[in-house]
Structure 1
Amino acid sequence: MRRKSLVALFVLGLAAAALPACGAAGPADSPAAPVAASGTAAGPTDSPTAGPAVTPTARTGLGAAKPSASPSTPSFRAGNPGGGAVVPAEARAVDTSHPTRTVGTGTAASCTSDAVVKAVAAGGIITFDCGPTPVTIQMKATAKVVNSHGPRIVLDGGGKVTLSGGGKRRILYLNTCDQAQGWTTSHCQNQDHPQLTVQNLTFANGDSTGDRTEGGGGGAIFVRGGRFKVVNSRFVDNRCDRTGPDLGGAALRVLSQYENKPVYVVNSTFTGGVCANGAAMSSIGVSWTVLNSVFRDNRAVGTGANPARAGTSGGGSGGAIYCDGNEFTVRIAGTIIEGNRANEGGGAIFFVSNDRTGTLRIEHSTLRRNPSQGFETRGFPGIFFLGARPPTVIASTLA
């Protein structure tokens, strides 16, 4: 797979933001030459890196903010409740008992797409008041973060709210290098804000098919820059383009994070995603910490791998997770990854570190029935891996 640079130096005076590099593997990364597993002994602990502590800025608009009955009390449960992985403080749900603004005025009808779009653009801590029963909000436009607002943006659905793309559009978008959302630093690809958290929400039927901006992908949520965290949320039946050698992320597509600090995915579930690659999550040069979560029945449906074989459109790797780039880490703990499928490599996980510095660590997790139709790394069922050393596997099942 061909090598590309991870990030281009960004200067505000440029006429357009530099696109992220899609770090594809070089000639030695051919599926014909997998890394053989030499063992599964534990390596050094990959401890999560603490993120910046930022106090959200209160802003007015969208009516009065209404205190929650209790901080983030969901009426549903996502993820793997038996996972047992310790969740660090910075990866936990944000206290939303004193929101900046509230979407809705107590009825389902008051919770509209327009209200969500305006709330996300305004920033701050956002909760929902849509009545006593669960509600689905059909998004008529993508909710986009304005980079100068926040610096923290939190969406808390209280376990009762589904945001649906209706099979027509992406649901949520953050891009620090998008001029339309405002440039707030001279180094958009490496800034600590905005900090986006989604919690106690369901994202369903998002679809970014046909949108190739920044390489495409991110059927439910697209993120470039700042910080991003997912807590106790569900992603159901999301989509992105079915072809392409490097695009992906039917649910989540992330291209860069501040100082390569990890994206946290905690107590969350991903089901039914379909994309060319990474049918749940996809990234370029991004580190992930995935705790107590579930990935089930996601499919990477592209054909031809990366670079695309002659006569194909490319793709088909990472049935659940697709990670590419140079130096990055992925830690998966207390998590179930099962029943996912890749037409090419990595029915569960596709991991390529071009400069062979990246590491993959799997702890107290179960990976099973994740067929790789094309190629995978010997000794690691469902995984294709090229990195600093064989994946570290601790008290886990790979079958």
Structure 2
Amino acid sequence: MTDPSTRSSSRSTRSRRPGIRLAIGATAGSLAFAALSGVTTTSATAAPSAPAERTSGPSAAATTQVGTSLQLRRAVRKANARAGQDRIVLRRDIDLGPGQGQGNGPMRGDLDITDDLVIVGNGNTLNVRGVDRAFDVRPDTRLVLQRLNISNAAAASGESGGAIRSQGQLVVRGSTISRSVVRGEGSSGGAIFNDGGTAQIINSRLVDNRAARAGGAVEALGGTTVIRGTTMRGNATGFAPGNGGAVHLTGEGEVRVLGSTVTGNGAGAEGGGLWNSAEGTFLVDRTTVTGNTAQGAAADQGGGGIFNDGGSLTVTRSTVEGNEATGAAGSGGGILNDGGELDLRTTTVAGNSAPRAGGGVEADGGTTALRSVTLEGNATGDAPGNGGGLHLTGAGTVLVLGSTVVANEAGSEGGGLWNSADGEFLVSNTEVRGNFARGAAADNGGGGIFNDGGDLTVQGSQVVNNAASGAAGSGGGLFNNLGNAEVTDTAFRGNVATRAGGAVEANVGSTTIRDSVLDQNATGPNPGNGGGVHLTGAGEVTVAGTQVTGNTASAEGGGLWNSATGTFTVTDSTITGNTAEGAAADQGGGGLYNDGGTLTVTGSTVDGNRATGAAGSGGGLLNNLGTLVVTDTVVSGNDAPRAGGGIETNVGTVTLTGVDLTDNTTGANPGNGGGFHTTGAGVVLYTGGSVTGNDAAAQGGGLWNSSTGSMTVTGVTIEDNTAPIGADLYHQPPANGLFLVDGQPVPPTTP
């Protein structure tokens, strides 16, 4: 995003008052205005000539029926001269000629309205033929248009309000305004310009209108604008700056779009459909915003459907679907909140796309809240391609509450949701399901959620069937990259990552998972570690009160995997039915794998896990060159082909206190240490607990110590273990190491 300190000049082009003069051109269907008709018109926008003298005192409303341009002009002149509201009824279609006489007023150019007037079109068309705009409503004046079709209006170059300019009260009901334009620098509001007054557009159609600056259909400069039950289709802006394909608000005003349809509109830069100012209040309710396009090339441009430039934007009970930010680094295919307050409620944001980030929603700072929102099928490109559903840039706050984030896709990171390094991001009572992140690097991925160094909280949620599908993509469900992630009361099920962290990948940072479920998650083969959770680098991971069940790693750590420099703590958790498929002797760790760091397991159950590779070891736990501390834990029913059915340590240091090793087994390759196996010069201190009912296919059904290992066992019940050699204990000859049981040395075991 652009540094805020550099934004003043560009922001001024976004929201300054519509200007005057200088013509541009465009075809009827082009955002570029490359070939706009060069009709020369005369506009009644200078100081108005004095109206005809009014009769004294109020008079009864008059109704006049007209069928020609001259009759219409005369009727408007008389209505202006007569106090009170008048009524004009069109009997047929009328082509509004240029008028006659000198100066301004209703007899020349547009129809100046200086007294309250109702015009009933009866479905007839006022074809302005490029003469001027149709109506110019002066302050303290009310114009009501009913069932009137206005087409081909064109304000003078540099002026705003192609069909209507109103400084008073405007009501457009059951009417259509089409193919009207404003041309020239600063001109806005291809159909309607509400110049600080009040405008109501009800049950109407605004179609194929064009504006050079902003507001392809409607420009509001302050004031209050209400659009109800109206279709805005095929309207567009140019590129200077080119904001608000259908509706644009400048300054401190209020816009409400209610029960309407905003479809197929386009903006040269921002807000293909709707655009809200920094001081504006904008409500979209029960409205469909679909198929709109914003072409802005910068990272803080886009908002294919809606753009909020720092104001207050509320979208409720609506659908934002199939919109696009198409610029090189355009963001926010559906909605872009640029530093403002965005409140999305009971709304569907679906099938939108952006090249850079935020396929559905982009938040650039500010506060963004999603309540009961569906983010579905949104996507980013590859530049860089983050946050398929929602992306936060900078120091903002995002709340995703009671929502559904489903089937979104990111070219790199955060298929569903993406949090920035300075962001605060809360996901609560939300389902994050079936999202994809396609990034190929080891620090890409986060199929469901990606946290890029900020503060992420996930609570009471479901993170299901997401995938990090790139060549080395990690964190199928969640990727915490250098940040702080707090996960509570959340289920991760069926997530997949190519490299590591089927459910959760932590790259350094601090990751806490409490009272949660990690179930049936998996890694691919590259290298395939940490089916449930994987830690990379010198980070900290805490897993507490959590069920880690049925996860699979293609190499190491079917359930949990700790790095060489990591600190990993597991408390009061159940690690059961997980599988590690690595074939090498230093691979496995069906339940947990410690790759040289510090792994602490307390008050837990490690049950029914398997190392299934040809020489896989450590069915329950494998400590590879690290420090393993296990306390008050049951390790039972685990299995490994090679060694250490319950626990394998390859060198390293192991401290077991109050640990029960029960009913663990090894296969026949070679099949040593049914309960516990030491490889190399490992150091083991085992105090309290029991070693019972374990079985080894070859040696040491209970405990197996290498010739160079050091194992000290005190106060442990060792019985009912089975093996062809050394049913309970096996000490590999030549016994250069130390093996003591209750202070007594265990001699080398002989066949």
For the aligned pair, the TM-score class normalised by the smaller chain equals: 0.5 to 0.7
Identity of aligned residues (%): 20
Give the Å deviation of 1:322. Answer: 1.1
Task: Kindly indicate whether residue 252 of structure 2 is the aligned counterpart of residue 257 of structure 1.
Answer: yes
Counterpart of 2:336?
Answer: 350
Task: Kindly indicate whether residue 149 of structure 2 is the aligned counterpart of residue 102 of structure 1.
Answer: no
Q: Distance in 1 between matches of 2:16 and 2:61?
A: 32
Tell me the secondary structure at the aligned position of residue 145 of structure 1: strand
Counterpart of 1:303?
Answer: 297
| Contact 1:120–1:143 (8 Å) recurs in 2 | no
For residues 271-315 of structure 1, what are the alpha-carbon distances to aligned partners after superposition, in whole Å with 9 as ceiling and x for unaligned? 111112211112321221110000111111232345xxxxxxxx5
Give the Å deviation of 1:323. Answer: 1.4
Query: What amino acid sits opposite 2:117 in the alignment?
Result: R
Task: Kindly indicate whether residue 348 of structure 2 is the aligned counterpart of residue 366 of structure 1.
Answer: yes
- Within the candidate set 355, 369, 381, 1:392 is matched to 369
| Contact 2:194–2:225 (8 Å) recurs in 1 | no
| Contact 1:338–1:367 (8 Å) recurs in 2 | yes
For residues 311-364 of structure 1, what are the alpha-carbon distances to aligned partners after superposition, in whole Å with 9 as ceiling and x for unaligned? xxxx5x110111113xx22111100010001121000011111xxxx3211111
TM-score (norm 1): 0.58
For residues 195-238 of structure 1, what are the alpha-carbon distances to aligned partners after superposition, in whole Å with 9 as ceiling and x for unaligned? 122111110111113xxxxxx21111111122222111110101
Give the Å deviation of 1:112. Answer: 4.3
For residues 61-89 of structure 1, what are the alpha-carbon distances to aligned partners after superposition, in whole Å with 9 as ceiling and x for unaligned? 6354279xxxxxxxxxxxxxxxxxxxxxx
Counterpart of 2:309?
Answer: 324
Query: What amino acid sits opposite 1:239 in the alignment?
Result: A
**Residues 107/369 of structure 1: CA separation in 2 closer, same or farther (3 Å cut):** closer
Counterpart of 2:207?
Answer: 204
**Residues 388/106 of structure 1: CA separation in 2 closer, same or farther (3 Å cut):** closer
| Contact 2:233–2:264 (8 Å) recurs in 1 | yes
| Contact 1:359–1:387 (8 Å) recurs in 2 | no
| Contact 1:7–1:20 (8 Å) recurs in 2 | no
Alignment of 1:178-193 (within 5 A): none
Counterpart of 1:235?
Answer: 232
Task: Kindly indicate whether residue 161 of structure 2 is the aligned counterpart of residue 128 of structure 1.
Answer: no
Alignment of 1:45-64 (within 5 A): 62=76, 64=86
Query: What amino acid sits opposite 1:203 in the alignment?
Result: L
Tell me the secondary structure at the aligned position of residue 204 of structure 2: strand
| Contact 2:88–2:119 (8 Å) recurs in 1 | no
Tell me the secondary structure at the aligned position of residue 367 of structure 1: strand
- Within the candidate set 273, 279, 283, 2:272 is matched to 279
| Contact 2:203–2:229 (8 Å) recurs in 1 | yes
Give the Å deviation of 1:5. Answer: 8.6
Give the Å deviation of 1:20. Answer: 5.5
| Contact 1:104–1:112 (8 Å) recurs in 2 | no
Counterpart of 1:70?
Answer: none
**Residues 125/136 of structure 1: CA separation in 2 closer, same or farther (3 Å cut):** closer
| Contact 2:88–2:120 (8 Å) recurs in 1 | no
Tell me the secondary structure at the aligned position of residue 215 of structure 2: coil
Structure showing the higher strand proportion among its residues: 2
**Residues 365/206 of structure 1: CA separation in 2 closer, same or farther (3 Å cut):** same
Counterpart of 2:217?
Answer: 220
Tell me the secondary structure at the aligned position of residue 360 of structure 1: strand
**Residues 127/321 of structure 1: CA separation in 2 closer, same or farther (3 Å cut):** same
Q: Distance in 2 between matches of 1:126 and 1:173?
A: 15
| Contact 1:319–1:349 (8 Å) recurs in 2 | yes
More relative contact order, 1 or 2 (CA 8 Å, 6+ apart): 1
Tell me the secondary structure at the aligned position of residue 278 of structure 1: coil
**Residues 107/360 of structure 1: CA separation in 2 closer, same or farther (3 Å cut):** closer
Q: Distance in 1 between matches of 2:143 and 2:200?
A: 9
RMSD across aligned positions (CA): 3.4
| Contact 1:269–1:294 (8 Å) recurs in 2 | yes
Structure showing the higher helix proportion among its residues: 1
Query: What amino acid sits opposite 1:351 in the alignment?
Result: N
Q: Distance in 1 between matches of 2:370 and 2:356?
A: 23
Alignment of 1:19-168 (within 5 A): 19=16, 62=76, 64-65=86-87, 100-104=116-120, 106=122, 108=124, 111-113=126-128, 117-118=134-135, 120-121=137-138, 123-128=141-146, 135=149, 137-141=151-155, 142-147=162-167, 150=168, 152-156=169-173, 158=174, 161-166=175-180
Q: Distance in 1 between matches of 2:251 and 2:267?
A: 20
**Residues 4/105 of structure 1: CA separation in 2 closer, same or farther (3 Å cut):** closer
| Contact 2:247–2:274 (8 Å) recurs in 1 | yes
Unaligned runs of 5+ in 2: 19-59, 63-74, 80-85, 90-114, 156-161, 184-189, 377-751
| Contact 1:59–1:124 (8 Å) recurs in 2 | no
Q: Distance in 2 between matches of 1:100 and 1:137?
A: 23
Query: What amino acid sits opposite 1:205 in the alignment?
Result: D
**Residues 352/271 of structure 1: CA separation in 2 closer, same or farther (3 Å cut):** same
Runs of 4+, deviation exceeding 6 Å: 5-8, 58-61
Counterpart of 2:261?
Answer: 269
Query: What amino acid sits opposite 2:307 in the alignment?
Result: Y
For residues 341-389 of structure 1, what are the alpha-carbon distances to aligned partners after superposition, in whole Å with 9 as ceiling and x for unaligned? 1121000011111xxxx3211111100010111122xxxx511103444
Tell me the secondary structure at the aligned position of residue 65 of structure 1: strand
| Contact 1:283–1:324 (8 Å) recurs in 2 | yes
How many residue pairs get matched? 264
Unaligned runs of 5+ in 1: 9-17, 22-57, 68-98, 177-193, 210-215, 307-314
Q: Distance in 2 between matches of 1:235 and 1:65?
A: 27
Q: Distance in 2 between matches of 1:272 and 1:7?
A: 25
| Contact 1:121–1:143 (8 Å) recurs in 2 | no
Q: Distance in 2 between matches of 1:394 and 1:280?
A: 22
Give the Å deviation of 1:104. Answer: 4.7
Query: What amino acid sits opposite 1:249 in the alignment?
Result: G
